[in-house]
Amino acid sequence: MRLPLGYPELLATLLTLLGLIPESLTSWEEWWTYDGISGPGFWGLINPQWGLCSKGRRQSPVDIQPDKLLYDPRLRPLHVDKHKISGSLFNTGQSLVLRVDQDSKHHVNISGGPLDYRYQLVEGYIHYGTHDGHGSEHRVNGYSFPAEIQLYGFNAELYHNMSEAQHKSQGIVAISLMLQIGDRPNPELRVITSSFGQVGFRGQSAPIRHLSVRALLPDTDHYMTYEGSTTHPGCWETTVWILLNKPIYITKQELYALRKLMQGSPETPKAPLGNNARPLQSLNHRTVRTNIDFFREKDKNCPTMYKDHYYQATWGEENRLQGRNFADTSR
């Protein structure tokens, strides 16, 4: 978005005088949205602390293009602790956010994969659309899934908390789980979806107890990874993204309950909470690496990306198991 010189400052001053945006920085977290004058195109224009949202060169989300993936044999398996977590599910008015209880005796640590340090899980965001054709922030070869769960953690070896880590090098990790519609949902996802009825409006929350993040993950060791940013303000470019190469499943009934959530209060519901995806960002010559070896010989007892290796998911009403082949991008 190209705006005249001085326009962002003039717009911010005008909107503040009109009482449309807050004067204190403590209110910024409540003000931004996914559309209109407070939407993604304006995040970095009005709040100076969010300048990366408009000027950054390593922004997220991105479209994962199979023909441009780089196989990296140095990438290790990803490790997520088996400890169960507790916390709260919040309707913030912009997203549905899972905030992990940090006072717990046992934290869920994330390590391995492309990571050089140990990261501590802090929160998760649910992005989804109001219909099946879109919802996820990241895309695979242009395809948008109905929803995406993003799990964020901070570098616990170098920094004290997320607030400090988000400004620092290698400060944040984000694990992306794509959600596809299926008749056999992920059992652990039910711990979250069963609370949707308690968070129908902005400011409402529900307790989450005994959630196994490891069990929530799909059954795959394959992933893609790149250097990016948080997809919400202030778009901090300190995020290592790990996108798992298989979706988890959610039922139509659970997705329907998710789409009933609203942005506003019971008195002023406003619009549905869905369609809370930031637009795709340019890769700007960044490399997306993967631990999937596209060219390994088929007769070896190793994962391959030949014609029999797919991004496996259930598609359509007939619940047929089909696949999207990363190695063949002609379709």
- Within the chain, strands assigned E span 63-64, 70-71, 78-80, 84-91, 96-100, 109-112, 119-128, 139-140, 147-155, 172-181, 205-212, 223-228, 239-244, 248-250, 289-290, 311-315, 320-324
159 is catalytic: yes
Q: What tokens does 199 get? A: 């968070």
Q: What tokens does 97 get? A: 């956010």
Non-local (6+) Cβ contacts of 53 within 8 A are 40, 43, 44, 59, 233, 234, 235
Determine contact, residues 182/314, Cβ cutoff 8 Å. yes
Cα–Cα distance between 185 and 196 in angstroms, integer? 16
> Which one of 152, 159, 226, 311 is the catalytic residue?
159
Determine contact, residues 83/70, Cβ cutoff 8 Å. no
Angle ∠(126,130,135) on CA atoms, nearest 5: 45
Please identify every residue annotated as catalytic. 159
